[in-house]
Amino acid sequence: MKNKILKKEVINIFRKFGLSNGHASISANALINAELVGAYGHGLSRLKMYCDRIKKRVINPKPKIKIKNISQSISQIDADNSIGFVSADIGIKKAIKNAKKTGIGMVAIKNSGHYGLSGYYAEQAVKKNLIAMIYTNAPPAVAPHGALKSLFGTNPICFASPSGSSVPFILDTSISMINRGKIRVAARNNQKIPEGVALDKYGKPTTNAKKALEGVQLPIAGFRGSGLAWMVDILSGVLTGGNHGGKVKDPFDDFSGPQNIGHLFIVFKSNLFVKDFKSRIRKNINIIKKLPKVKGVKEIMYPGQNKFKRFKKNQNKKIYVSNVVKRDLEILKDH
């Protein structure tokens, strides 16, 4: 389906469920972007979930979002249980504005929901020649090291920097072996997941996506990944006033109340300490790219390059819509 037509459909669906024109457009842009960069687990496969949560009144379609300025650099946002795309859009723009004014901008958000891809917001900062670090927590999926029960989310870590070229350096990674969205897409399409990424509810390795969702996802690098997940839970949950310690509700399965996810945006000027940052980062990347390559590797890529290539490739192509998502669109259009 053509991007513009699909985007218009998604905007109209969000409007039917009570979002304003502006909020519907912000949300649709984020979902379509996820499709274009190949992050299908964060794209249209989640549209029905957002609409279900609005319908059950655990996402507020008409939020009264409050911004509290703690200093010229620091702000806190109460998102009033808005859809996460909207609060995150306000948050990154506020962090950028603060950073442009003082050199650094820090914005904490509470009472928000799932906002899609962290890299999508980080890219906005990089385009303004800023460096960004972004954290958000998620529903229980990963067991803390040594525990038998899931408690941490897949809690993504995002770092973004200008690269000295048109392709920004954006590391946007969950602390789990694969993100939960990919497992959900596999479960809906009856596909297997790779070995070594999840255990079933009995603690046995599984490639069955549905059993993985009932069990535990494995963190990257063992106890180190568990530690990173804990760090994100502190930064985006404890620090911001959001839910933490396993209290973030699963958006697909738990409609007992809002998620109250926390987000933390830290944005700062790249030339705070050196005036030649662009030439230094360019040199840094070139040094690494010139290293001897493993057999079969044509180019040493930096984080963000592959995603940018996928975006450019898909930008003018029709977006593939699976049968499952087609059914979702038909159901939601008839709402």
DSSP 236-301: IIITTT---TT-SPPTTT--SS---EEEEEEEEETTSS-TTHHHHHHHHHHHHHTSPPPTT---PP
H-helix or E-strand containing 18?
Answer: none
The model's pTM is 0.93
pLDDT at 149: 85
Average pLDDT of 321-335?
Answer: 92
In this predicted structure, which of 122-131, 187-196, 279-288 has the lowest mean pLDDT? 187-196
pLDDT band at 148 (very low <50, low <70, confident <90, very high): confident
pLDDT at 3: 86
Q: Which residues of 15-45 are buried (b: 16+ CB within 10 A; e: fewer)?
A: bebbbeeebbbbbbbbbbbbbbbebbbbbbb
pLDDT band at 245 (very low <50, low <70, confident <90, very high): very high
Place of tokens 């973004």: 160
Domain boundaries, given as residue ranges, for the chain: 62-269
263-287 pLDDT per residue, tens: 999 999 999 999 999 999 999 999 9
Q: Dihedral, CA atoms, 174, 310, 42, 155, nearest 10 degrees?
A: 10
62-269 is a CATH 3.30.1370.60 domain: yes
| CA pseudo-torsion sign 84, 86, 89, 91 | negative
Give the integer Cα–Cα distance in Å for 105 and 95. 5
CB 284 within 8 A of CB 122: no
pLDDT band at 147 (very low <50, low <70, confident <90, very high): confident
pLDDT at 117: 97
CB 225 within 8 A of CB 175: yes
Place of tokens 């669906």: 13
30-76 pLDDT per residue, tens: 999 999 999 999 999 999 999 999 999 999 999 999 999 999 999 99
At 72 the three-state DSSP class reads: coil
Give the integer Cα–Cα distance in Å for 152 and 131. 27
pLDDT at 122: 98
- Across all residues in the chain, what is the average pLDDT? 96
